[in-house]
Amino acid sequence: MPTVQELYELWAAESELQEELQRSLAPRGTEWLFARFASLRPRRGQLVVDVGARDARHAVRLVREHGLRAVALDPLPLHVERARSAVAEAGLAEAIEVVEAPIEAMPLGDGSADWIWCRDVLVHVDAHSGLAECARVLRPGGSLLAYVTLATDRLEPREAAELAGAMALAPGSTTPEAIEAAAADAGLAVRSVERLGSEWRERMIEDGAWDPAQDLLRLARLRRRERELVDAHGAATVAAETGGRLWGIYQLLGKLCPTVYVWERA
């Protein structure tokens, strides 16, 4: 451990390390996820199920880029309404069916899907139930591509508890060990695992798409006025705002690790 004098001398000195940290590491961005799906070589006419489709933006893109058929599935009526509007606007009503249902109970036949696209869903549900249902719906040899943000050992227990309550995270679905065990129990074989870490967030900063300073400033203001803001807007609203701002910051700090799995039904 350096002395105080040595510490300030280190900070004051011109450092090769500082120069190195100015250089981009060419981080992968959000487009990489679509490139990864394309590398799996989906074929025209195959069926992809977009689980947790929200506004069906991803389903629309997958259908357009690969000539697929799609089911855009989401449990929230608001998302279903938006998805149907987006599909109609895209002129893809014949290629994309929008369905209101959760991942744990998909109204689809056994072995009916060639692909499942699952982004930002698994930490919000019971992973065992959700992945078992995915395995049921996939045909033998079919694949599931899942993007999921998982806790690392840098996330302190108190931080984890606060984040779970704010972001509606399911107990037991937030660690790599839990997700991977649930997939194995469902009969899904790992084809690949990509631990993206901070890459997407680095790319967002470099592209000017996200400013972490703004999130940190809002978090500071929220902490200073927390009681007042809870009284005015409700505890749930304030917690959701806090969790949403922390989500990206924690990815940068290595407390959360966005991870992409490709599983195949054996």
Q: What is the pLDDT of residues 175-212, one digit of tens each?
A: 999 999 999 999 999 999 999 999 999 999 999 999 99
Enter the tokens of residue 70: 């799609």
Give one DSSP letter per residue of 59-92, joined into a string. HHHHHHHH--EEEEEES-HHHHHHHHHHHHHTT-
Contact of 110 with 136, CB cutoff 8 Å:
yes
Q: Give the C-alpha separation, 43 to 192, whole Å.
A: 20
> pLDDT category, 93, cuts 50, 70, 90?
very high
Pairwise CA distance, residues 211 & 206, whole Å: 9
Q: What is the reported pTM? A: 0.95
Partnered with residue 48 across adjacent β-strands are: 70, 115
The Cα 176–Cα 167 span in angstroms is 18
Whether residue 15 is predicted with pLDDT greater than 80 in this model: the reply is no
Strand 256-265 relative to strand 188-195: parallel, antiparallel, unpaired?
antiparallel
pLDDT attached to residue 45? 98
Whose tokens are 């929230």? That residue is: 76
pLDDT in tens, 114-172: 999 999 999 999 999 999 999 999 999 999 999 999 999 999 999 999 999 999 999 89
